[in-house]
Structure 1
Amino acid sequence: MAQRISDLMASQAQQAFIGRCAEMELLRTMLSAQGPRVAHVHGIAGIGKTALLERFATEARGSGATVIQLDCRGIEPTESGLLKALGDAIGRVPTDAMALADRLGGLGETVVITFDTFEVFRLLDSFLRQVFVPSLPDNVRVVFLGREPPGAPWLAMPGWGSLLLSVPMSPLSTDEAAELLVRLGSEPEVAQRIARLTHGHPLALRLAAEAVREQPEGPLLRDSSLLHVLDELTRTFLADVGDPVTRRVLEGVALTRRATVSLLRVLFPDLAPQDAYQRLRSLPFVDVAEDGLIVHDAVRDPIARSLHASDPSRHLEYRRTAWRQLTSEAETAGSTDLWRYTADMLYLIENPVVREAFFPSDTAEYTVELARPEDHSALMDITRAHEGDTTAGAIKRWLQRLPQCFSVVRDQHGEVAGFCCKLRSDQVEPAWLLEDPITEQWFEHLRHRPMPRGEIALFCRRWLSREEGELPSAPQAAAWIDLKRTYMELRPRLRRVYLTVRDLPAYQSVALRLGFEVLEDHQATMDGLVYHSAVLDFGPSSVDGWLADLAAAELGVERPRQLLDTEARELVLDEGRVALTPLEFGVMHHLELRQGKAVSRSDLLRDVWGTTYEGGSNVVDAVVRTLRRKLGPQARRIETVTGVGYRLKS
């Protein structure tokens, strides 16, 4: 049978794989019956983790193992997102972790699951460690590849012992680096000089080899700092990257999380988008991911910094154009693709408060997990140390009623360093809210400013750290990262977040930047202390709409005016505002949430009227007729979809 080009490409990649004998030996132990079950492969960007993964995957498959490779950059960091990604990979979508375990148990004697770029999956670390991995059958091995070593909770968790493997990735030796450069086409004398300058960093070696190949007489670098070397190599390579068209395209996509044909079409309207895509794809530092092309961040960051310094107006215009396109695509994205647009929007936002909350960049000193019964006493000790008796009593009642709503923050020794209590409006009884002076204020606010049916409010009742109380601290930052995981899990139904603080000035500036509104008329006094309340209303598009608004404000882009004011329950038209009846509002709001998509009459009957009686579809048509009359010149925005129902055009 003739070889395919893909086979030749794989062979070339294997030939360029140098060294890593010690790392491979450690990973091979996982394939034995008594070997480790979990491995954390870790090292700085561009050190060669993915190349090691490909070599190990090839060997594992050669030994008869089933290998499932996941790239965390394209997976929503929620339990459902992980289950969906694994379901797609194994050919059956599991309903929960136990169903997944049953399926994996039948895939062969040894099954290896790999998670590449694990650093972007930190929001799900506790679930993986506490629920997912322990539930896997004995034939499964899990390999995490990221920038950080396993956190203290992985190392301290009882029972891991020899089942857990840590594989640090160090630079190649000088001889290995020189050998790699020779295989990439460099002359032996030049290879030795580059190997010494780059300190064996594989990505720097590949970039240097390409730069020398493009300009063999050019000057070599003198600075031995890795960051400076990468910056200089990137600039050198960018300056000589084939032609000005490819260089221009590379600069533009360096400001986005991923490059797609549709994004290239709007960023560079004078170019053929498919040609631009192929130009990028051929570059040695561009990865082909499931949802587009991704420029390696060790290359992307210096390019973005250079463009911002040399041409700030073009830097801003690229980001604005990307925002418009991503916002448009997200409006019609299916639920399985929505996370990709969320991540895209987060990448456009330079606000460090937002980006760091969703994609923390530093090593985690603290981890967050669900509180266990044995944590309750420590949790209450922290509460009593910083709160009065009345508040402590309220926290204790919530702990007794809804212990699953409490998360604890653990330090490197596994001790409870803080906690957070977050309650869902669809899981608490109104009577319980009224018993607590603070949640009573939130209940009253909801009563006067109700949310549309089916939407959820998240009550962040209290967070406290052992040492600092409610003041900003590292344990509190860890709790807020966990809170963002909850945002992801509850969207697109999550509409509002309520919280309370005593020291309002300590948080006001950050809270206002994020869109929180201080509720001046909803203060509560407990034990002689005043508790202030604030609310963040994400809007009808939930978390994704909120992020788009933050990006729009940062980029100076004016968002299109909403046709429906959900707070006032009115249409917002050029001619003025028009009041809606409850049924008109329900239909309009339902169509707006699914803008661009066909909505069936049966769906409207179920979600607006609360009935499944198909014979009542005429009442839907009657309400749509009155809506069209009230829309006036914009009546055509509600389209009739023959045989289905209706669709709201953008």
Structure 2
Amino acid sequence: MSQRMSDLLAVQAHRNFVGREDEIAALLSVLDPEGPRVLHVHGIAGIGKTALLDHFTRAARNRGATVINLDCRNVEPTEPGLLQALGEAMGGVYPDVETLFERLESIGGTMVLAFDTYEVFRLLDTWLRQVFVPDLPENVRVLFFARQRPLAAWHATPGWGWLLKSVPVKPLSGCEAAKLLTSLGVQPEATSVIVHATHGHPLALKLAAAAAREEPFTHWLPQAPLQHALEELTHIFLKDVEDTTTRQILEGAAITRRTTVSLLGALFPELVPHDGYERLRKLPFVDTTSDGLIIHDAVREAIASSLHASDPSRHLTYRRAAWHQLRAEAESASSGDLWRYTADMLYLIENPVVREAFFPSGTPQFSVEVAQPGDAQALTAIIRAHEGEEAAAAMVQWWRRMPPAFSVVRGADGEALGLCCKLRSDQVEPRWLLDDPVTREWCRHLRDKPMAGGELALFCRRWLSLDEGDSPSEAQAAVWLDLKRTYMELRPALRRVYLTARNLAAYAPVAQRLGIEVLAGREVSLDGNLYPSAVLDFGPASVDGWLAKLAANELGVHTELDLLDPEARELLLDNARVALTPLEFGVMQHLQASQGKAVSRTELLRDVWGTRYEGGSNVVDAVVRTLRRKLGARADRIETVSGVGYRLRPS
């Protein structure tokens, strides 16, 4: 049977693997019945964690173990997303963890679940630590490969002890680095110079070996800290790539999270995309994954930032072309693939407020988890420290009625440093919402602007930090990250998020970028303090559509789904813009906000004209007629709903 190219590459990678005796021994210890059950393997970017995992996988399988490797970059960071990924890897469908665990136990022998690039799975870390890992069958071991060391909460969880082990991945020693360079074809006289300049960093060693091409090079090798050395080595390597087409393709691919044949076709319509894909795949810093090619982060960032500095116009052109292609593919993607396209579009956003919300780059300080009965005293103390008597009573009432709605922010020692109360519209008792003055206003807003059937609202009733209250803080940042996990869990049903904060003005810059709207006239006074409210409406396409639109706004692009420029108050028609009167804009804005849903003439009169006089429906019809004329070839986007009003039809 002939070997595939991927098989040959795996064999070559195994031959080039050097050193790591201590790390391999630690990994193999999980196969021992008395060994650790969970290993956190951590090290900086490019240090060789994935190569280490591949080497362990081969060794473990040779010892009879079953190993399932998951690249977390390709898995939706939600419980259903993980179950689906494991189901695909195991050739089955597992609707819940109990069914999955039964299957894992039935396989027999030692079963290893390995999570590579685990740092992007932060949204699911708490659930894995509290629910998934503790209940795994006896024969299952778990490996996490990440850039950061595990959260302190893993070590603080009672009962872990010897079951958990942290394994740091360090740079190669001088002898190991020299051995790797020899396997890559570097001449002996060049080895010592490269070893010194690259700090024993495997990716830097490979870049230096590829860039040298067996020529004198001592005059250009960087004498700099590792990150600068990686950037310089990347540029040196690119200069040595004489093929301008390959360099051009590499620059375009560097602005994407992953590279596919279809994306290359969109970025470079004048080239043959399959040829470009093969050119990329052969580069020493490009990994082949199940759904495309991924340029190593350290190299990708160096190339992308260099292009942004030298040719910002081309950098923007690439990002726009990628967005259009990803948006087109996402519209026909299955539910299982939708997250990949959402993550791809999210990667195109340079705004740190948005990217950090879903892909945090720093090392987490706090964990957020569901509050336990034993947290009652600590949570009550936090509430009473920052709330007056009326406001505190409302929050304590929610704790008594719905304890699972509360999350607690824990520090390194497990102490409660903050809290968050969030309620789902499909799970909370409606009369309880009316008992609370704040949530009562949210119910009134929902009554005035109802959601479509099947859509959900999330009520973020309050977040508080022990020291800062509801002002920006580390604890509040942890809460917001946990909220993003909830967003992902509830999509595509989640339509709106309601929230309140006495210090809402402190979040104004972030709120404007994310599309959060302050609800004027719905402030509530408790204990002499005002509690303003705000809402984030994701739109009919839920969280995925909202993220795609954030990317579109940053890139200055639109599709047929976005007919309206709200800032300019103009219609967006292909390459033309058409000005709107205030009434035309009001009607169009209302229809687009309720896209796909019938809007009555009475509702338009109330929200656009500010009147409840139902006899004025003729004026609504007149404005719709002028809108249709201005829409031209797209006039059929506004449909008449007999006996009701109008509906904006999705493209």
Sort the TM-score into its range (normalised by shorter chain).
0.7 to 0.9
Kept after mapping to 2: 8 A contact 1:212/1:218: no
CA distance, structure 2, for counterparts of residue 316 and residue 587 of structure 1: 29
Kept after mapping to 2: 8 A contact 1:420/1:460: yes
**Alignment match, 2:444:** 444
CA distance, structure 2, for counterparts of residue 43 and residue 436 of structure 1: 48
**Alignment match, 1:234:** 234
From the superposition, tell whether residues 215 and 402 of structure 1 become closer, same or farther in structure 2 (CA, over 3 Å). farther
Asked if 1:527 corresponds to 2:527, the answer is: yes
Query: What is the TM-score with the length of structure 2 in the denominator?
Result: 0.87
Per the alignment, in what secondary structure is the counterpart of residue 419 of structure 2? strand
Residues 1-35 of structure 1, C-alpha deviations (whole Å, 9 max, x = no match)? 77665554333211110100001111111101111
**Alignment match, 2:51:** 51
Amino acid at match of 1:424: R
Per the alignment, in what secondary structure is the counterpart of residue 454 of structure 1? coil
Amino acid at match of 1:204: A
**Alignment match, 1:84:** 84
CA distance, structure 2, for counterparts of residue 214 and residue 512 of structure 1: 54
**Alignment match, 1:641:** none
**Alignment match, 1:265:** 265
CA distance, structure 1, for counterparts of residue 517 and residue 586 of structure 2: 26
**Alignment match, 1:256:** 256
Deviation at 1:391, TM superposition (A): 1.3
**Alignment match, 2:319:** 319
From the superposition, tell whether residues 347 and 511 of structure 1 become closer, same or farther in structure 2 (CA, over 3 Å). same
**Alignment match, 1:281:** 281
Kept after mapping to 1: 8 A contact 2:422/2:458: yes
**Alignment match, 1:492:** 492
**Alignment match, 2:368:** 368
Residues 325-367 of structure 1, C-alpha deviations (whole Å, 9 max, x = no match)? 1112111211101100111111111111111111111111100
Deviation at 1:98, TM superposition (A): 1.5
Deviation at 1:572, TM superposition (A): 12
Question: Bigger CA drift: 440-449 or 215-224?
Answer: 215-224
**Alignment match, 2:420:** 420
Question: Bigger CA drift: 3-12 or 363-372?
Answer: 3-12
CA distance, structure 1, for counterparts of residue 208 and residue 124 of structure 2: 36
**Alignment match, 1:545:** 545
**Alignment match, 1:454:** 454
**Alignment match, 1:112:** 112
**Alignment match, 2:350:** 350
Map 1:92-131 → 2, pairs under 5 A:
92-131=92-131
Per the alignment, in what secondary structure is the counterpart of residue 408 of structure 1? strand
Asked if 1:405 corresponds to 2:409, the answer is: no
CA distance, structure 1, for counterparts of residue 2 and residue 68 of structure 2: 27
Question: Bigger CA drift: 202-211 or 500-509?
Answer: 500-509
Kept after mapping to 2: 8 A contact 1:98/1:135: no
**Alignment match, 2:432:** 432
Residues 239-275 of structure 1, C-alpha deviations (whole Å, 9 max, x = no match)? 2235111100000111110111111111001100111
Kept after mapping to 2: 8 A contact 1:65/1:108: no
User: Structure 1: which 5+ residue stretches go unaligned?
Assistant: 566-570, 591-627, 639-647
Per the alignment, in what secondary structure is the counterpart of residue 135 of structure 1? coil
Kept after mapping to 1: 8 A contact 2:495/2:538: yes
Kept after mapping to 2: 8 A contact 1:549/1:559: no
From the superposition, tell whether residues 572 and 202 of structure 1 become closer, same or farther in structure 2 (CA, over 3 Å). closer
CA distance, structure 1, for counterparts of residue 561 and residue 331 of structure 2: 15
From the superposition, tell whether residues 11 and 523 of structure 1 become closer, same or farther in structure 2 (CA, over 3 Å). same
Count of aligned residue pairs for this structure pair: 601
From the superposition, tell whether residues 383 and 4 of structure 1 become closer, same or farther in structure 2 (CA, over 3 Å). closer
**Alignment match, 1:643:** none
Asked if 1:290 corresponds to 2:290, the answer is: yes
Kept after mapping to 1: 8 A contact 2:37/2:141: yes
Asked if 1:61 corresponds to 2:58, the answer is: no
Amino acid at match of 2:331: E
Deviation at 1:589, TM superposition (A): 4.1
Deviation at 1:320, TM superposition (A): 1.1
**Alignment match, 2:643:** none
CA distance, structure 2, for counterparts of residue 586 and residue 253 of structure 1: 36
CA distance, structure 1, for counterparts of residue 4 and residue 519 of structure 2: 65
**Alignment match, 2:28:** 28
CA distance, structure 2, for counterparts of residue 37 and residue 46 of structure 1: 26
Deviation at 1:549, TM superposition (A): 1.7
Residues 68-110 of structure 1, C-alpha deviations (whole Å, 9 max, x = no match)? 0100000000000001000111111212111111100111210
Kept after mapping to 2: 8 A contact 1:214/1:240: no
From the superposition, tell whether residues 210 and 531 of structure 1 become closer, same or farther in structure 2 (CA, over 3 Å). same
CA distance, structure 1, for counterparts of residue 320 and residue 633 of structure 2: 30
Residues 248-306 of structure 1, C-alpha deviations (whole Å, 9 max, x = no match)? 00001111101111111110011001111111111111111122111000100010110
CA distance, structure 2, for counterparts of residue 214 and residue 459 of structure 1: 63
From the superposition, tell whether residues 525 and 511 of structure 1 become closer, same or farther in structure 2 (CA, over 3 Å). same
**Alignment match, 1:190:** 190
Identity %: 62
Per the alignment, in what secondary structure is the counterpart of residue 457 of structure 1? strand
CA distance, structure 1, for counterparts of residue 502 and residue 13 of structure 2: 58
Per the alignment, in what secondary structure is the counterpart of residue 423 of structure 2? strand
Kept after mapping to 2: 8 A contact 1:215/1:240: no
From the superposition, tell whether residues 282 and 386 of structure 1 become closer, same or farther in structure 2 (CA, over 3 Å). same
CA distance, structure 2, for counterparts of residue 229 and residue 572 of structure 1: 46
From the superposition, tell whether residues 288 and 227 of structure 1 become closer, same or farther in structure 2 (CA, over 3 Å). same
Asked if 1:178 corresponds to 2:178, the answer is: yes
Deviation at 1:633, TM superposition (A): 5.9
Deviation at 1:227, TM superposition (A): 0.7
User: Structure 2: which 5+ residue stretches go unaligned?
Assistant: 566-570, 599-627, 639-648
CA distance, structure 1, for counterparts of residue 538 and residue 650 of structure 2: 22
**Alignment match, 1:211:** 211
Amino acid at match of 1:461: R
Kept after mapping to 1: 8 A contact 2:178/2:195: yes
Map 1:129-148 → 2, pairs under 5 A:
129-148=129-148
From the superposition, tell whether residues 635 and 555 of structure 1 become closer, same or farther in structure 2 (CA, over 3 Å). closer
Question: Bigger CA drift: 549-558 or 377-386?
Answer: 549-558
Per the alignment, in what secondary structure is the counterpart of residue 213 of structure 2? helix
From the superposition, tell whether residues 53 and 458 of structure 1 become closer, same or farther in structure 2 (CA, over 3 Å). same
CA distance, structure 1, for counterparts of residue 175 and residue 379 of structure 2: 55
Amino acid at match of 2:177: A
CA distance, structure 2, for counterparts of residue 572 and residue 350 of structure 1: 24
CA distance, structure 2, for counterparts of residue 384 and residue 90 of structure 1: 50
From the superposition, tell whether residues 429 and 7 of structure 1 become closer, same or farther in structure 2 (CA, over 3 Å). closer
CA distance, structure 2, for counterparts of residue 151 and residue 536 of structure 1: 30
**Alignment match, 2:385:** 385
Residues 104-158 of structure 1, C-alpha deviations (whole Å, 9 max, x = no match)? 0111210011000000000000010000001110100100000011110101111
Residues 392-449 of structure 1, C-alpha deviations (whole Å, 9 max, x = no match)? 1111221122211111100001000001111111112221111100001111111101
Residues 550-576 of structure 1, C-alpha deviations (whole Å, 9 max, x = no match)? 1122112244355799xxxxx999997
From the superposition, tell whether residues 8 and 515 of structure 1 become closer, same or farther in structure 2 (CA, over 3 Å). closer
Deviation at 1:219, TM superposition (A): 3.3
Question: Bigger CA drift: 538-547 or 307-316?
Answer: 538-547
**Alignment match, 1:611:** none
CA distance, structure 2, for counterparts of residue 8 and residue 234 of structure 1: 26
Kept after mapping to 2: 8 A contact 1:251/1:304: yes
Question: Bigger CA drift: 391-400 or 73-82?
Answer: 391-400
Per the alignment, in what secondary structure is the counterpart of residue 220 of structure 2? coil
Amino acid at match of 1:399: W
From the superposition, tell whether residues 455 and 277 of structure 1 become closer, same or farther in structure 2 (CA, over 3 Å). same
CA distance, structure 2, for counterparts of residue 586 and residue 355 of structure 1: 27
Residues 459-512 of structure 1, C-alpha deviations (whole Å, 9 max, x = no match)? 110000111111110011001000000111111111111110112321112211
Amino acid at match of 2:246: T
**Alignment match, 1:474:** 474
Kept after mapping to 1: 8 A contact 2:193/2:218: no
